[in-house]
A and B are shown apart, each in its own frame.
Chain A
Amino acid sequence: MTPQPRRRRLEVEDIGDITVVNFVDKKILDEQNIQVIGEQLFSLVDELGRRKVLLNFKNVEFLSSAALGKLITMNRKLQSAGGKLILCEIDPQIYEVFEITKLNKLFTIHKDEQTGLQSF
């Protein structure tokens, strides 16, 4: 069976030495999509050598615990490479998921992109 071409799941823009990432999907759910999102995020660090990554959640309306796992791995990757991951513009309902899981203590989270950019 021919593998299906992988859709781009992230919009990536460099602002100075900071890589700003927006999610294409409103719902970060499907196992296969989450796998692809993970691979595309990790390649920013492993292949493209990015060290300052700002993940902007403004498009995201829903995510599951499987997506949180990829964010944790991304955070760990950046930390061990001497880099930094910052999250911003998280919808209040989704921020509650970070609070319940106490991941708001693990991640650096800012309200808006500008504050996030200034925090590296």
Chain B
Amino acid sequence: MTAPAPCLPFELVIPSDLGEARRVQAEIERALHAVQFHEHDIFAVKLALEEALVNAIKHGNQMDRGKLVRVAYHVAPDRFEVQITDEGPGFDPADVPDPTAPENLERPCGRGLLLMRHYMTEVAYHDRGRAVRMAKVRRNGAK
């Protein structure tokens, strides 16, 4: 299955460069502040974006600057949605071992997907793992 058409109004296309990823994160963070997302939700989105972008650049595109990462997103007052697509070979999230299992607790890597699942309201993979779509529903003021 290929990635669904993002239908997200903003799209940024960046080379596989972590500095470029920082600029994308800063732009999205500014947009979330502009619609007055809760600070904890902004922390959650920043962390999930960091993990997803590093996965796309490092594990997907293998740091090859010739390969691109597409970041399509939409910020609304009650919901943030993003799709990040790389040009790598893809992966099956089910193959990633549970990093919280006692036998894996001392492994130095493999926690990014767990953090993305925890901090975002929705996480779905498409195009054999080349695209990840995530959403964060804004918490109400009481939380």
Chain A contacts to B: CB under 8 angstroms: 29-32, 62, 64-66, 68-70, 72-73, 75-76, 93, 97, 100-103, 105-106
Contacts and interface: CB of A to CB of B under 8 A. Distances in A.
Contact of B100 (A30, A68, A73, A101): A101
A97 B108 contact: no
Interface residues of B, number: 23
B115 A106 contact: no
Contacts of B6: none
Interface in B80-124: 99-100, 105-112, 114-115, 118
Contacts of A68: 108, 111
A65 B43 contact: no
Given A62-B43, A100-B115, A29 B50 contact: yes
Contacts of B32: none
Contacts of A64: 47, 50-51, 54, 112
B76 to A, nearest CB: 24
30 contacts: A29-B22, A30-B22, A32-B18, A62-B43, A62-B46, A62-B47, A64-B50, A64-B112, A65-B51, A65-B110, A65-B111, A65-B112, A66-B54, A69-B111, A72-B106, A72-B107, A72-B108, A73-B108, A75-B106, A76-B106, A93-B40, A93-B43, A97-B47, A100-B114, A100-B118, A101-B115, A102-B100, A103-B105, A105-B105, A106-B106
Interface in B24-38: none
Given A62-B46, A101-B100, A69 B108 contact: yes
